Amino acid sequence: MNAASGDTIVSSRDRTLNLLIVGVGGQGVITLSGLVVHAAVRAGLDVKQSEIHGMAQRGGSVSSHVRIGRKVHSPVIDEGMADLVVALEKLEALRYLSFLSPGGLLIADDRAIPPLPVSCGAMEYPPDVLEQCRARTGRVEVYSGDALSQQTGSARMLNTCFAGILSRHLPFEESAWREAIAECFAARHVEANLRAFAIGRSAKPLE
C-alpha cells in the first residue's frame, strides 16, 4: 500500500471484510458497489454484494452490502458487524451507523439531501448529524463531496471519487481498481473515471 493513509482495514485474507455503502436513490451507490466487487475479484477474492431494488429507487434510502473474503456465505451484514460504512449522504450515515462495528471506520460525504418529510416542512434535518456520528464512534472521515465534484468537474463521478477514498482502506492493488473501472464503465467514460478515482485516492478528509 502506498496510498495517503495506508490504513488498511483488513490486511489478512483470513477474515471476511464487511463493507456497507449507503446513500440516496440515484447517487450511484450500486455503481460504487460494483467497482468494489470487480476490484475484489481482480484481487482473487470471493465476494458477495446484495442490494434492494424496486421501491428504494425512487429517491429512497439505499443500502448495499459488500462482503469480501476467501469464502463468503451470507450476502448480508448484521448490525454491528461492518468494518466500514461509506455514506454518500450524511443523514444516511447516521441512519446506518448501527451497522458499524466497534472500532470500524465511517467514511461520509458531508452533503445533505433533504428527505421528503424535511423538504415539505414536516420535520427538521438534524443540524448536528456528523457530531452525532462522532459521538458514537471514534473513527470518522468526512469528505466534501462538493469540493471533490468541483475537482472532477461533475457530481456524477463522485461515487468513483469515493472508490478512490475507499481504495486506501482495502487490501487491493491499485491495478485491480483500475481494471475494475475499465470493466464497469463504457469506454468513453473510463478516462474521466480513472481521474476521479485518482482524485479520491489522494483526497484529504475535512478537519
Binding stretches for another protein (CB under 8 A): 24-25, 34, 37-38, 41, 46-61, 73-76, 78-81, 91-92, 94-95, 97-98, 100-102, 114-126, 132, 136-137
For the bound state, the minimum distance from the C-beta of residue 37 to another protein, rounded and expressed in Å, comes to 6
- Beta carbon nearer to another protein, 38 or 168: 38
Whichever of 119 and 202 has its CB closer to another protein, that residue is 119
Query: Quick one: which of 75, 65, 66, 60 has its CA closest to 23?
Result: 60
CB of 2 to another protein, least distance (A): 27
Q: Which residues pair with 82 in a beta bridge?
A: 100
Nearest distance from residue 66's CB to another protein, in Å? Answer: 9
Q: How far apart are CA 204 and CA 207, in angstroms?
A: 9
SS3 breakdown of the chain: % helix, strand, coil, rounded to 5? 40, 20, 40
Q: Which is nearer to another protein, 157 or 203 (CB)?
A: 157
Closest separation between CB of residue 151 and another protein, Å? Answer: 19
The answer to whether 145 and 109 have CB atoms below 8 angstroms apart is yes
CA gyration radius for the chain? 16
Question: Residue 98 or residue 175: which is nearer to another protein going by CB?
Answer: 98
φ/ψ of residue 190, rounded to 5: -65, -45
The residue whose grid cell reads 468541483 is: 150
- Give the residue with the Cβ less far from another protein, 96 or 168: 96
Smallest separation, CB 165 to another protein (Å): 22
Residue 49 or 193 with smaller CB distance to another protein? 49
Cell numbers linked to 108:
461520509
Cα(42)–Cα(134) distance, integer angstroms: 34
Minimum Å gap between C-beta 202 and another protein is 28
Q: Compute the distance between CA of residue 194 and CA of residue 181 in angstroms, rounded to an integer.
A: 7
Angle at 106 between CA 78 and CA 41, to 5 degrees: 65
